[in-house]
Chains A and B, each alone.
Chain A
Amino acid sequence: MSTATETQRKAPAGERVADWADGRLGIYGLAKANMRKIFPDHWSFMLGEICLYSFIIIILTGVYLTLFFNPSMNEVVYHGSYEPMNGIRMSAAYASTLDISFDVRGGLLVRQIHHWAAIIFLAGMFVHMFRVFFTGAYRKPREINWLFGFLLFVLGMFTGFTGYSLPDDLLSGTGVRFTQGAILSMPIVGTYISMFLFGGEFPGTDIISRFYSIHILLLPGIMLGLVVGHLILVFFHKHTQFAGPGKTNKNVVGMPLLPVYMAKAGGFFFLVFGFIAILSAVATINPIWALGPYRPDQVSTGAQPDWYMGFAEGFVRVMPGWEINLWGHTLVLGVLIPLVLFGVVLGALALYPFIESWITGDKREHHILDRPRNAPTRTGLGVAWVTIYFVMLIGGGNDIWATHFHLSLNAISWFVRIAFFVGPVLAFVVTRRICLGLQRRDKEKVLHGRESGTIKRLPHGEFVEIHEPLSPGQLHTLTAHEQYKPVEIGPTVDENGVERKPSALQKLRARLSKSYYGEDNQIAKPTAEEYKEITSGHGHH
């Protein structure tokens, strides 16, 4: 006992604080597992970090904004620093946003950082999600983390929407009106939900304060929980890595959290924050003062939502205005179908990992990432999804496309309608062919070496390019991917000679499996025999 107290007395202050905390929180156990935790290095692994840091920036700046913002729809007459709005009737929410922009020193900067960070947050999540998708990182054991990330993306969209609606300016109010119109299209419950959400008829006097509590409390609260869960799972699962020499499904190769990633990731937070601050100094985002306060009978032309809502906007714009009137009721398909498609398109993304694992029947853990080319069907499907997304972004900005490129609005709308069906199919086919081509190229490289660019003239006058053999590490990297065999339905007659009828589901699965891993859908990896035969003795190439 006495020796223990003696060493404690001698310990430096930092260690004594750590001892104190360890006695209460058990931090040494946590630190042992995590302080030197290994993280692999790849540029694409920092995309998620951009999301995390922009989320933190949004929370920091958001708290500051709440100190000045007044989420009230009370009508006031503006008397402030912004001359053009003097004497104009507006809501207190809009007036306080003008005050933040023109009277609070630095308020405009914080508002701009908040909005830019939100846009980058959503863009970062989109790109991060597709990094995860195209490399198959969502496979077991990470399906739940995929869902967490998916929820963060969807909630991020709605947090963004409720946030940019708060200033109650003419543009965002138009977006809220659109939302109310979409809610009204829901059969049976639409009018009730609208009345309850708005506290009566549109716009009423409640929606800003309700959006406020949703925007600053409800959604970010859920998101914060999801972010923490997402990170805990990243630590728990350990990061995925690309195949390479020394990298296996049973290890993780990289550098330790302390000090390398403390410095790199911690530093990256400051890089992201600094970048967004400079962006906010030089590029104006959402100049609400130029738009004026919201009035339901006024509108500006060229109205656009923030980019992440653009694809929903696209569905609404290009959908034909179908309405069915029967038995005294109206089914507003022209708005309802876009609303449903919005959910279906997003939902497909959430479900994909489960669909793929059902098709492959693969229940093993995967920690080695796929190169997109080595999973042509998945890559094709992903590109098809992205194609739908971007086609709809074009649809959502059809007026902007029309005015900036001098195109016919009708033609753009028709293009989008057709491209919604044709685009993803084309994208799928083309992407898959490109993937297969790249697989062939990898095989070629493994068997015949890398094109060196050096041209040699043979004694008889022929010119040949010298191919350099790959290093053992490169050979391994290019052949490390797994190739599945398509699932077979199995014999239709069992061992007792009784005929067995495969269920429709089994047949579907076999067909899908064939389209993923059938002969024409992946290029067989080079075998050691092929390699040896080509490299032994012949000396050609």
Chain B
Amino acid sequence: MSSQQIPEENLPEVQDTAHGAVEGAGDPFADPGLPAHRPRIQDIDERAARRSERAVAFMFTLSMLATIGFIASYVIFPVDKIVYIWPLGHVSALNFSLGMTLGLALFLIGAGAVHWARTLMSDVEVADDRHAIEATPEVKAKVMADFAAGAKESAIGRRKLIRNTMFGALALVPLSGVVLLRDLGPLPEKKLRKTLWAKGKQLVNMNTMEPLRPEDVVVGSLTFAMPEGLEEDAHDFQTQIAKAALMIIRIEPDNIKDKREREWAHEGIVAFSKICTHVGCPISLYEQQTHHVLCPCHQSTFDLSDGARVIFGPAGHALPQLRIGVNSEGNLEALGDFEEPVGPAFWERG
């Protein structure tokens, strides 16, 4: 609809441009002041305004229906009903219907309000003055005088003993709060150095929960083990397994490059800590041809045929090895605890 069709008296009066100061008329770049307001179709055509009104009311009405739909969905759909919705696939009917109805109910209120503001509320731009944030010199002088008077009356400058002891008292009192935090946890002591492994502890296969026998470990397979006696329902299971988890693989003894590794192995069966020496993720990816293991968290890669040294990634040192042997029953057993702390490095590790 072009403006020619609009009766003259419906056109808004031209806005004055007095808002912005027009500096130096000779300057082609001078601020010409606020441009005149351009009327919207709704400002000059009541039919258009009514269309907008109906559109807003329509959205608000749809929102009401959506809320009723939300309540209906809540009642109708069982919590475990799964439906197929293209292109989402199999989804929870309840979650989908509740989310869509709630989303629509909310979105339509917003859309209605914004449409109302954009089409029917005045869009005349006006200018507000800003005021300096800084105080005037008079105000500042008054504040300084007040402060000086207050400070003088308190005598804090003159009676230094009061001032200094007060600062001392205020500085010390938060210490109580700090002291109270002491019982958040125990001191580190040697806790990070010890695991459940000890001489004679059998290696238990974490899949079968049976003691591991050398013949169970074949070349190319990766087995996870934990110390015998550790029960999954023990109160400290998580804390213990976080240090004691083992990776067991078998390598042809001739292929073991590291001398100590060969000595600590049993017929080529080697046991390494499963906990990455970077920041402690459990290592779980094993490349059987190269005997490399990879931590899936930060991709530190260790060569298990060469003392588990780091060959790639952010880990700082090799995985600790557990010395193993076979007991009288023919089961694999530990010959002691790890000789160095497992998991991430720390200041006292040395």
Contacts and interface: CB of A to CB of B under 8 A. Distances in A.
Interface residues of A, number: 127
B188 A191 contact: yes
Given A195-B188, A269-B110, A332-B346, 17 more contacts: A112-B99, A178-B298, A181-B280, A195-B185, A201-B243, A247-B20, A263-B117, A263-B121, A266-B113, A268-B110, A271-B107, A296-B242, A297-B275, A319-B314, A321-B310, A329-B347, A413-B313
B28 interface: yes
A316 B314 contact: yes
Interface stretch (A127-135, A469-477, A508-516): A469-477
Contacts of B100: 277-278, 281-282
Nearest to A38: B128
The winner among A185, A204, A267, A413 for most chain B CB atoms within 10 A is A267
B346 A317 contact: no
Interface stretch (B31-39, B252-260, B263-271): B31-39
A300 interface: yes
Contact of A281 (B99, B114, B187): B99
20 contacts: A38-B128, A75-B235, A89-B233, A108-B95, A174-B281, A180-B280, A186-B347, A200-B185, A238-B128, A259-B117, A263-B117, A274-B108, A281-B97, A281-B98, A295-B241, A301-B285, A332-B345, A335-B345, A475-B28, A526-B29
B94 interface: yes
A251 B344 CA distance: 58
A271 B347 contact: no
Contacts of A20: none
B112 A267 contact: yes
B169 interface: no
A189 B346 CA distance: 10
Contacts of A266: 113
Interface of A: 37-38, 41, 75, 81, 89, 102-106, 108-109, 112-113, 141, 174, 177-178, 180-182, 184-192, 194-206, 236-238, 245-256, 259-261, 263-264, 266-282, 294-303, 316-323, 325, 328-335, 365, 367, 398-399, 409-410, 413, 446, 472-473, 475-476, 479-480, 526, 528, 531-532, 535
Nearest to A237: B133
A137 B341 CA distance: 51
Given A102-B79, A472-B28, A109 B102 contact: yes
Given A250-B129, A263-B117, A303-B296, A255 B123 contact: yes
B343 A181 contact: yes
Interface residues of B, number: 105
B329 interface: no
Contacts of B237: 75
A246 B28 contact: no
A538 B316 CA distance: 74
B31 A476 contact: yes
A282 B99 contact: yes
Interface in B95-139: 95-100, 102-114, 116-118, 121-130, 132-133
Nearest to A103: B79
